[in-house]
Chains A and B, each alone.
Chain A
């Protein structure tokens, strides 16, 4: 609020209380804070502030409440026309989840061209920004300039400028597996018995998170839930299983497949892209199959 130069001390005082009470202040609060004030002076001061657009006015339970507007709010309003204000308010309301242009149009009742113009102008003033949505690449949402986009929009740690960083995920996936594998053998022939061995071979997400952080491979701070996401990919890779401890926390353990690679994948036909075209006679036959040749060579 320092930008807001108010010469008279009464306004300053009122603003101070208002800052301390972001929920809003009533006439009574003001009188309590600035007792030596006539009601006429008070009204004059408040009117002045309202004119400057510093306050929003609410009616709460019969008494009036003044609430301080956010700083940007005031900036936006400065020199803005009505359309901009409306649009601005809608965007502000949406918070860090952002709002889709369609929804703005529907709710503001503005024509498409006009809306685009308004948004452009707000954007150029650096009051709002457009953020690409990770789970729908074509979709853009608008939010206030200074807000950090929500995880559901930005995708969290896995996205750099809305691009999915699959290599990063791969590296983490491998490192997590390494960590689990280091202790996986604890369950085997553990002299203290298999239950203890199993506990030793389990790792909680927090432990894994610590390991990853200590490795220093990530310059983004990974939350526990991020690590859980990665650990779950290991489960889907069939390389780990998860159990739930009695206290409800999830633990992970590296496992192997129940069987070694079965016969089908040991022969070339099992992985052959032509297998459905391969016949006893014709162009593709087992007799003169190149894959078979290669396989039988070594």
Chain B
């Protein structure tokens, strides 16, 4: 695991959980897996704080544990990939809100914050929190229905339970359980709402958010959008339907889905019939998607109009290439990108031929090729000809692209960039911490005064303790932080594509 990943993870832990957790996280990242006593020793933190931090990490599924060789103590291990997901939270919320509405958003948000919760606990908490919000009009019944839909669609799932079978070691292990969509008693819920206590309800099934389900949505979205860009909306819609069909018969992340009969697709299009152009020309769209859709879809066999396969692996590869093309273009210019793509198209190519096909001046072409080499976007393979007479043995240099390595280069770059954004944001926060604090205090006071109905004059007086230059500065900082967090989200999207690609190349 790379040093850069460690830096990002460390920053993220610092932002969300503070310095102590960051220290423990760093320690675990560097040493792989180790027991508590060792963490105490290397970090020099009091044992209690270490345990506290570990508890946080475990709760949010950012670390795991397993029995060490001695069987009586546990070794702890950081899960850096899960730490990275912390910055993805806003996207989960956005996604679920657009699909299932505000209730779902509230539920998922609460569940993400609590990491795990019982169904009733979650519902009652969310309902209580939003009791007074007339606008949203949240009722526990609506929440319950939403909860059931979310569980059915797999966005939330039952948390793994500790396996306490005797005979195994002293350290429990967590085993996943199949999710059963719960049957929640309305009366009990309403009762709990009025009394405000959960004591009467026996509910010991814990729930958590199923990230993978969200990631499937993200993946589908990328594919659909790509087809929309490449062909048109109808092709995008067709892609969506194809993916839906795929889920019925294949594993979500299969490198290649099981074949779906074209008949089924046609049927699905007919049912979703608001795209009249699509339903008129389904077969044509299928053909165009297959031939001009960057290889996302492949046809197998001809029986009964043929069968279609969604090629997840190939799609990931193509999207990775698109990412790399953009990166090369921005870093080294469009002519370098031309050379980069040329090398990819030809697989192996000699320097002279690069110049010939890229149609660039000799000198520029060479310079760019060497720059690409220097930044590890391309590789070179010398081929020595058998020594011929008279010192004429000239080695030929074949340029080529090691996609997997380049993807790693891009990933490292993303980690660096992400780290820098996080770091910069932390810096901005720190620098203006005092002022931001003040603003917060003023806001609370003003809020309190409004609630109490104090005269506007007094409120204004309090508000004016923030001078105009201070306000301007605050606005400025706010803007920067917003820009930085938008960038973090974008970088996360970028990493998503890279990770999707790596999923198949392990």
A residues apposed to B, CB below 8 Å: 135, 137, 158, 164, 166, 169, 173, 187-189, 191, 193-195, 198, 229-230, 232-233, 235-238, 241, 243, 253, 255-259, 261-267, 269-271, 275-276, 278, 280, 285-287, 289, 292, 295-296
Known: A187-B288, A267-B487. 4 other contacts (CB 8 A): A189-B232, A194-B234, A263-B491, A296-B480
Q: 0/1 per residue, B285-305, Cβ < 8 Å to A?
A: 101100110100000000000
Verify if B252 is at the interface (C-beta below 8 Å from A): no
Q: Quick check: A230 and B359 within 8 Å, CB to CB?
A: yes
Would you call A258 and B494 a contact (CB within 8 A)? Answer: no
Shortest CB–CB separation between residue A210 and chain B, in angstroms? Answer: 21
Q: List 22 A-B contacts (CB under 8 A).
A: A166-B360, A193-B284, A194-B287, A195-B284, A230-B359, A237-B341, A238-B325, A238-B337, A243-B291, A259-B319, A259-B322, A259-B323, A259-B497, A262-B323, A263-B417, A267-B420, A267-B487, A275-B417, A286-B424, A286-B427, A287-B423, A289-B424
Q: A135-B352, A263-B493 are in contact. Are A236 and B357 (CB under 8 A)?
A: yes
- A255's nearest neighbour on chain B, judged by CB, is B230
Cα distance, A269 to B484, chains bound together (Å): 12
**In the complex the two chains form, is A263's CB within 8 Å of B294's CB?**
no
Q: Which 6 A-B pairs have the closest CB atoms?
A: A263-B490, A263-B494, A269-B417, A286-B420, A193-B281, A263-B491
- Cβ of B413 and Cβ of A275 under 8 Å apart? yes
Known: A194-B235, A243-B291. A262 touches B327 (CB 8 A): yes
B465 interface residue (CB < 8 Å to A): no
Are B330 and A188 closer than 8 Å at their CB atoms? Answer: no
Near A by CB (< 8 A), chain B positions 246-286 give 277, 280-281, 284-285
Known: A166-B361, A257-B229, A271-B331. A265 touches B326 (CB 8 A): yes
Q: Is B358 an interface position by the 8 A CB rule?
A: yes
* Shortest Cβ gap from A106 to chain B (Å): 11
Indicate if the CB atoms of B359 and A158 lie closer than 8 Å. Answer: yes
B359 vs chain A, min Cβ distance (A): 5
Find chain B residues with CB under 8 A from A296 CB: 479-480, 483-484
Complex interface: chain A residues within 8 A of B360 (CB): 166
Q: Are A264 and B423 in contact (CB under 8 A)?
A: no
Q: B420 and A264: CB pair below 8 A?
A: no
Interface pair A236/B326, CB less than 8 Å apart: no
Q: Are B281 and A280 in contact (CB under 8 A)?
A: no
Within 8 A of A (CB), among B477-504: 479-480, 483-484, 487, 489-495, 497
A242 to chain B, nearest CB (A): 11
Contact yes or no, B494 A187, CB < 8 A: no
- Beyond A135-B355, A237-B334, A263-B493, whether A258 also contacts B487 by CB under 8 A is no
* Neighbouring A residues of B356 by C-beta, 8 Å: 135
A266 to B281, CA, bound (A): 38
Q: Please give the distance in Å from B486's CB to the nearest CB on chain A.
A: 9
Contacts A194-B234, A258-B322, A262-B323 hold; do A280 and B357 have CB atoms under 8 A apart? no
A259 to B469 Cα, complex, angstroms: 42
The smallest C-beta distance from B164 to any residue of chain A, in angstroms, reads 44
Binding site for A on B (CB under 8 A): 7, 222, 225-226, 229-235, 277, 280-281, 284-285, 287-288, 291-292, 294, 318-319, 322-323, 325-327, 329-331, 334, 337-339, 341-342, 345, 352, 355-362, 364, 410, 413-414, 416-417, 419-421, 423-424, 427, 479-480, 483-484, 487, 489-495, 497
Smallest CB separation, A185 vs chain B (Å): 9
* Alpha-carbon gap, A231 to B380, bound state (A): 27
- B223 to nearest A CB, angstroms? 9
Residues of A within 8 A of B484 (CB): 296
For residue A280, give the distance in angstroms from its CB to the closest CB of chain B: 7
B361 in contact with A187 (CB, 8 Å): no
One of B226, B232, B338 near A259 (C-beta < 8 A): B226
A166–chain B nearest beta-carbon distance, Å: 5
Assembled-state Cα–Cα distance A187/B497 (Å): 27
Closest chain A CB from B422 CB (angstroms): 9
Cα–Cα, bound, A20→B82 (Å): 88
A265, B330: Cβ atoms closer than 8 Å: yes
Contacts of A195 in B (CB 8 A): 281, 284, 287-288
What residue of chain A has the Cβ atom nearest to residue B285's Cβ?
A: A194
Closest to B410 in A: A264
Do A187 and B417 touch across chains, with their CB atoms under 8 A apart? no
Of listed A137, A256, A259, residue having the most chain B CB within 10 A: A259
Nearest B residue to A195 via CB reads: B284
Q: How far is the CB of A200 from chain B (nearest CB, A)?
A: 12
Which one of A137, A193, A241, A266 lies within 8 Å of B292 (CB-CB)?
A241
Provide the bound-state CA to CA distance between A265 and B327, in Å.
Answer: 6
The residue that A258 contacts in the complex, of B294, B490, B492, with Cβ under 8 A, is B294
Given A198-B292, A266-B487, A296-B480, A257:B322 Cβ within 8 A: yes
Closest to B355 in A: A135
Once the chains are docked, how many angstroms separate the CA of A270 from the CA of B331?
A: 7
Q: A158–B162 Cα gap in the complex (Å)?
A: 73
Bound CA span A233–B334, Å: 11
Q: Which residues of B contact A261 (CB under 8 A)?
A: 326, 330
Q: How far is the CA of A264 from the CA of B414 in the complex (A)?
A: 6
How distant is B224 from chain A, measured CB to nearest CB, in Å?
A: 11
Contact A258–B417 (Cβ < 8 Å): no
User: Could you say which of B229, B339, B355, B420 contacts A278, with CB atoms under 8 Å apart?
Assistant: B420
Q: Which residues of B contact A189 (CB under 8 A)?
A: 232-234, 277
Q: How far is the CB of B178 from chain A (nearest CB, A)?
A: 36
A292 to B244, CA, bound (A): 42
Closest to A291 in B: B420
Expressed in whole angstroms, the minimum distance between the Cβ of A95 and any Cβ of chain B is 22
Given A258-B226, A266-B487, does the pair A194, B281 have CB atoms closer than 8 Å? Answer: yes
Contacts of A269 in B (CB 8 A): 413, 416-417, 420-421
Contact B341 A194 (CB under 8 A): no
Asked, given contacts A189-B234, A193-B284, A289-B420, whether A262 binds B493 with beta carbons under 8 Å apart, the answer is yes
A186 to chain B, nearest CB (A): 10
CB of B490 within 8 A of CB of A267, answer: yes
Closest to A270 in B: B417
Does A256 lie within 8 Å of B423, measured CB to CB? no
